[in-house]
Homo-oligomer: A and B are copies of this chain.
């Protein structure tokens, strides 16, 4: 069944469109891929024969003949491994083509700075895959999201996760897992998730803020993720904005990060508690099963006054940074996502106040601030789509 390179491309494009939109009619696929209907019809029929695609039934009436709709076959035994790493915890999921969870989230406590982190990671992934009973040739690939300066084409993370043997990270993992591996920066992935599956869907110019250990940023420009000339665009957390003279982990002073990182918020909370402030956090922090940052976020959700006050201070600083971004990028919307977005509506007032204070009204009024609905799922969903984007399906 030899198909031309161009035909291969179209097959993959159709599968990608269905992966992102779930169900589509032939006309919709034609519009999205910018290919003619006869060509789409023929290619979809071929994919149905191969069981990649199944018929879903008729679309709701729009006045005329109802369209047949199609979706990816959840029973096609092709799977995607999605991994999302942060500084201390790594999560892993296996999805099918219909984006259904085939193996629920598994956690691994893994310090990303650990010398053996790469070895432990590959071991963990292999072990979990084996436990599912899925064979390697049924797996399209492994997508891994991680903090740090990631070169996605070379497959290198310049900040951490360097294999002991000096090879590049992706090659090492691909060899260890015997699977195609794709890596990307966590904030970039979260932005992709919001763009393809979240509240930023179908928008053209969006900024996605990843509130977490640091404050990451993914920029959607003209409908696609902007990475900059050498892949380092969106280094939001190290712009010079802080009034404090605290030293940042990057070696400079005045970085936004020193006021807005979740770790700083936790540190501020502990300091206040030590100075005698009353808060439910003093109880919560005793449970060492969960990270203090999560306890802090829980306290915020429960409207604990101290936690809310500390969060508001950080949010105001984030808002000040966003004011600069709004002037530069003039986005349609800004999405608050990442672990810190669990604080939800508690974040908004301080951010909006800062934007009103530091933005030219004419510009600010064009941008809406919205909360992510994906939160924890964002990075995993995007890790999976990373694999779909790079697969050929043949």
Contacts and interface: CB of A to CB of B under 8 A. Distances in A.
B240 A330 contact: no
A236 B363 CA distance: 12
Contacts of A325: 328
Contacts of A101: none
Contacts of A358: 240, 252, 254
Interface residues of A, number: 41
Nearest to A248: B360
B362 A324 contact: no
Copies of this protein in the complex: 2
Interface string A212-242: 0000010101100011111111111011100
Contacts of A234: 328, 330
A186 interface: no
A233 B330 contact: yes
Given A149-B362, A229-B205, A328 B236 contact: yes
Given A324-B240, A362-B158, A229 B204 contact: yes
A284 B283 CA distance: 73
A19 to B, nearest CB: 24
A366 B250 CA distance: 17
A250 B329 CA distance: 18
A292 interface: no
A254 B243 CA distance: 13
A327 interface: yes
A332 interface: yes
Given A222-B226, A229-B366, A252-B358, A235 B320 contact: no
Interface string A310-344: 00000000001001110111111000000000000
Best-surrounded residue of A205, A222, A239, A325 (most CB of chain B within 10 A): A239
Contact of A324 (B217, B324, B360, B366): B324
Contacts of A240: 320, 323-324, 358
A328 B325 CA distance: 8
Contacts of A233: 328-330
Interface in A148-188: 149, 158
A330 B362 contact: no
Contact of A205 (B217, B228, B360, B366): B228
A201 B327 CA distance: 26
Given A232-B363, A239-B324, 14 more contacts: A149-B362, A158-B362, A204-B229, A219-B328, A222-B222, A228-B331, A229-B330, A229-B366, A229-B367, A232-B366, A233-B329, A235-B363, A240-B324, A324-B324
26 contacts: A149-B362, A204-B229, A205-B229, A217-B328, A219-B328, A221-B226, A228-B329, A229-B330, A229-B331, A231-B330, A233-B329, A234-B328, A234-B330, A235-B327, A235-B360, A236-B327, A236-B328, A238-B360, A239-B323, A239-B324, A239-B327, A239-B328, A240-B324, A325-B328, A328-B328, A328-B329
